[in-house]
Amino acid sequence: MAASNSVLGLYDNPDAGANAMDGLQSAGFALGTFDVLTGTPYPEGAFGEHVPQHRLFRFPFFGALVGLTLAILFTAGTQLAYPVVTGGKPILAVFAMLIIAYELTMLGAVVATVVGIIFESRLPNLNLGAYDARITEGYIGVVVECEGDRVEDAREVLQTAGALEIKTA
């Protein structure tokens, strides 16, 4: 099996980048094997790219559940373990417990959301593959992940679309 390569075409305008994406699709590269890299969030579909799906919205619910469980364990467990009546309040004072439960539920939701954002963004991934620093200066990068025998095909498509430079990693 040939080694996987990352090929990057660099473009100086969004139209050329969109043409490269169309060209790759026409040349038979499977969706998900090529991507567009930008330094700016463009409108979804601006490059004719595959619109990614994600499951981020599940994360906060899971985190909230964990936070709530911990809060109940903390408030009920510690008060029952040291049952001293203070201020005439019951040992398990629901209103006081609710306040801590609310905070820990929200904390769980926020932490899980951030974990979800990083996970769903496919980060961390310190190996950038084929990349060019000019992408964060306004250039458009179109990157293809392909087997070694298709590298030349990818380069040709990227070149035809008007790439200013092509890099392989």
Partner 1 sequence: MQQRRILDEVTINRELLRGNLATPKWWLPTVLGLLVVVIFGFTLMGIMFNRGLGVTGLSRPVYWGLFITTFVFWVGISHAGIMISAILRLTQAEWRRPVTRAAELLTVFSLLTALFFPLIHAGRPWRIFYWITPFDFARGIFPNARSPLIWDPFAIGTYLTGSTLFLYVALLPDLGVLRDRTTGWKHSFYTVASLGWRGNPRQWRLQTVAGILLSALMLPIFVSVHSIVSWDFAVTPSVEGWHSTIFAPYFVIGAVHSGVSAVVTMMALMRWLWGWDNYIRPEHFDALARLLIVVALGWMGFTFAELIFGVYSLEAPERALREMQMFTWPWNLLFIIFFLTAFAIPVPLWFFKRVRNNIALMFWTSILVNIGMWLERFLIIVPGLSRKQPFVFTWDTYQVSPLEWGLLLWSFAWVLMLMLLFSKFFPLIPLFETKESQVFTTDVTIGRVTIPAVVRELD
Q: Which residues bind partner 1 (CB under 8 A)?
A: 35-44, 47, 49-52, 54, 56-57, 60, 74-75, 77-79, 81-82, 84, 86-87, 89, 93, 96-97, 99-100, 102-104, 106-107, 109-111, 113-114, 117-118, 120-128, 131, 133, 135-138
> In the bound complex, what is the minimum distance in angstroms from residue 71's beta carbon to partner 1?
9
Neighbours of 63 (CB within 10 A): 22
**What residue type is assigned to position 149 of the chain?**
D
The pair of three-digit structure tokens given for residue 86, joined into one six-digit string: 């203070």
Is the separation of the CB atoms in 136 and 39 below 8 Å?
Answer: yes
- Distance in angstroms (rounded) separating the CA atoms of residues 143 and 99: 49
**What residue type is assigned to position 143 of the chain?**
V
> In the bound complex, what is the minimum distance in angstroms from residue 3's beta carbon to partner 1?
21
Q: Which is nearer to partner 1, 1 or 57 (CB)?
A: 57
Q: Which is nearer to partner 1, 2 or 96 (CB)?
A: 96
> In the bound complex, what is the minimum distance in angstroms from residue 85's beta carbon to partner 1?
10
User: Of 32, 23, 17, 33, nearest to 146 (Cα)?
Assistant: 33
> In the bound complex, what is the minimum distance in angstroms from residue 87's beta carbon to partner 1?
7
